[in-house]
Amino acid sequence: MTTSDNEIESWGRVLKARHAVTTPAFLSDVGAGLAQSSRPALALGCARSYGDVCLNGGNELMRMTALDRLIAVDWESGIVRAEAGLTLDALLRVAVPKGWFLPVTPGTKFVTLGGAVANDVHGKNHESAGTIGCHVRRIGLARSSGEVLELTESDNAELFRATIGGLGLTGLILWVELSLKKIESAYVEVETLPISGLDHFFRLAEDSADWEHTVAWVDCLATGKALGRGLFMRGRHLARGGLRVHGGPRIAAPFEAPSWLLNSTTVNLFNLAYRHRPWTMGRDTVHYDPFFYPLDAVGGWNRLYGARGFFQHQCAVPKAAAPGAIERLLRLTGAHRQGSFLVVLKLLGRRKSPGLLSFPMEGATLALDLPNRGEPTRKLLADMTAAVTDAGGRLYPAKDATMSAEAFRLGYPEWRRLEALRDPKIMSDFWRRVAA
């Protein structure tokens, strides 16, 4: 396999590094490539994680996106086995016309199956469906020892659990076998309700058991009494409307926006318009694409944060501490006037993932983007991380670029077991930062 020297950046565009990149075209090339590499290697999918879980600076990256074949499908049972580089976008294109959907989906469909499993992604239906790891039946894993292992709940069970949410460190994920979810229609019934504050959010979320998918958008610049105001959105799959597949991105952001574009004034204006968009209030029927993947409509939206890039903070906090912790986090962002268009708040359910280092915990999760303004932004991120740690919560490695080793180890006490099961020839910049 040929190697090329490429600069690779992650989605936040703050972290970038040169890598020796190889692109295996067939599964049989993967194990051989790992065995041959003299430097630590890491699998790379679509590079949609925000920080450094997908980077391995100065070392090797194996870009898995050419490994995008279906291996076996059973449209009776909805069980699909596919190579790890298949994107959720491509899987949906095949599965939706057959009446099947992803059992769990993150907010973008431009991620690979392997990346989704390695980060044990969750979605708007976490309360009922858990993470994607709850729906993985089997994983093919290449180890640098030359072994190719099949992992299930019962065979190689320890590695199975360590690989789900294992940040790609246990070996190279070759393929994934997933149970899909039956759907009758590609359309979703959506209800959008205004929320006046955090208490209102928690009440509404608890009252939405009939709705499989829930999420809230919060105006992060609202302070005082208005703290936590925003919109609550809930959806459920419909039985009618047909099985139409999604299209491509509608617009692209091919150029970087100037950094001054995002300031508290523009964010305030956006939030004002968003909160008062009367055209989406109440009940509506929408296609799955705008419901699950609103940002996928804008290709390369990460460039809108300008040349310096942005950070994302996403935390999970346990149920009892959640209201207080979320309030503290929103006060912090409000006080720093560091605006973010996209503040997402949602409850996390109690369904446990088999994943050893799975991020979600029963409680709530808050996610927000912060444009990179250098030191003040890092200070805010550190303060937020401290608030999360105090509440017994943790940050999402897929989104993180700044947390300390200490914060990571407190949030993920099982990290030593993952380190013990890590393939000796695999490493990432994230793991160097928090575990080395």
Partner 1 sequence: MSAVARNVWILGGTSAIAQAYARRKAAEGGKLLLVGRNEDHLKANAADLAARGGAAAVETLDLTGAADRAAAVGKLAAQFGFPDEVLVAYGILGEQERALGDLAHAAEVIDVNFISVALWLLALCARRDPARPLTLAAIGSVAGDRGRGRNFIYGAAKGGLDRFLEGLAHAHAGTSLHVLRIKPGFVDTAMTAAMKKGGPLWASPDRVAADIDKAVARRAAVVYTPWFWRWIMLVIRLLPRPLFNRLKI
Hey, what amino acid is at 337? R
**Interatomic CA distance for residues 117 and 252, integer angstroms:** 28
* Binding flag, residue 375, partner 1 (CB under 8 A): no
- What DSSP element (H or E) covers 60? strand 60-63
Output 4 or 280, the one with its CB closest to partner 1: 4
Residue 350, CA atoms < 13 Å, CB-side half-sphere: 2
* Residues of span 85-104 touching partner 1 by CB under 8 A: 94
**Interatomic CA distance for residues 189 and 278, integer angstroms:** 17
* Binding flag, residue 3, partner 1 (CB under 8 A): yes
CA-wise closest residue to 261 among 206, 306, 211, 316: 306
User: Cβ 243 to partner 1, closest distance in Å?
Assistant: 14
- What DSSP element (H or E) covers 381? helix 375-390
* Binding flag, residue 36, partner 1 (CB under 8 A): no
DSSP 8-class letter at 142: E
> The tokens 């939030």 sit on which residue?
271
Scored b (16 or more CB within 10 A) or e, 141-150 reads bbbbeeebbe
Q: What are phi and psi of 297, to 5 degrees?
A: -70, -25
Among 10, 22, 56, 208, binds partner 1 (CB under 8 A): 22
336 Ramachandran zone, left/alpha/beta (phi>0; psi -120 to 50): alpha
Scored b (16 or more CB within 10 A) or e, 162-186 reads bbbbbbbbbbbbbbbbbebbebebb
Among 10, 12, 20, 23, binds partner 1 (CB under 8 A): 23
* Binding flag, residue 112, partner 1 (CB under 8 A): no
Output 73 or 164, the one with its CB closest to partner 1: 73
DSSP 255-315: SPPPGGGSSHHHHHHHHHHHHT-GGGSEEEEEEHHHHH-GGGGEETGGGGG-TT-EEEEEE
Among 6, 36, 264, 266, binds partner 1 (CB under 8 A): 6
Output 13 or 433, the one with its CB closest to partner 1: 13
Q: Beta 213-218 vs 230-237: how paired, if at all? A: antiparallel
Output 162 or 186, the one with its CB closest to partner 1: 186
Distances (CA, A) of 8 to 12, 48, 55, 198, 202: 12, 11, 8, 39, 40
DSSP 8-class letter at 334: H
CA dihedral 181, 183, 186, 187 (to 10 degrees): -110
Among 69, 182, 283, 379, binds partner 1 (CB under 8 A): 69
User: Cβ 69 to partner 1, closest distance in Å?
Assistant: 4
User: Cβ 284 to partner 1, closest distance in Å?
Assistant: 31
User: Cβ 129 to partner 1, closest distance in Å?
Assistant: 24
Output 86 or 227, the one with its CB closest to partner 1: 86
* Binding flag, residue 125, partner 1 (CB under 8 A): no
Tabulate helix, strand, coil % of the chain (nearest 5): 30, 25, 40
User: Cβ 197 to partner 1, closest distance in Å?
Assistant: 45
Angle at CA of residue 45, ends 43 and 50, nearest 5°: 100
| Stretch binding partner 1 (CB under 8 A), from 67-75, 180-188, 211-219, 380-388 | 67-75
* Residues of span 253-282 touching partner 1 by CB under 8 A: 254
* Binding flag, residue 4, partner 1 (CB under 8 A): yes
| Stretch binding partner 1 (CB under 8 A), from 4-12, 101-109, 200-208, 275-283 | 4-12
Output 90 or 204, the one with its CB closest to partner 1: 90
User: Cβ 23 to partner 1, closest distance in Å?
Assistant: 5
User: Cβ 385 to partner 1, closest distance in Å?
Assistant: 32
* Binding flag, residue 5, partner 1 (CB under 8 A): yes
Among 43, 46, 62, 73, binds partner 1 (CB under 8 A): 73
* Binding flag, residue 179, partner 1 (CB under 8 A): no
Sign of the alpha-carbon torsion through 86, 87, 90, 96: positive
* Binding flag, residue 66, partner 1 (CB under 8 A): yes
Output 256 or 327, the one with its CB closest to partner 1: 256
Among 17, 32, 71, 304, binds partner 1 (CB under 8 A): 71
Among 14, 15, 20, 27, binds partner 1 (CB under 8 A): 27
User: Cβ 387 to partner 1, closest distance in Å?
Assistant: 38
Output 89 or 219, the one with its CB closest to partner 1: 89
Contact residues for partner 1 (CB under 8 A)? 1-6, 22-23, 25-28, 66, 69-73, 94, 254
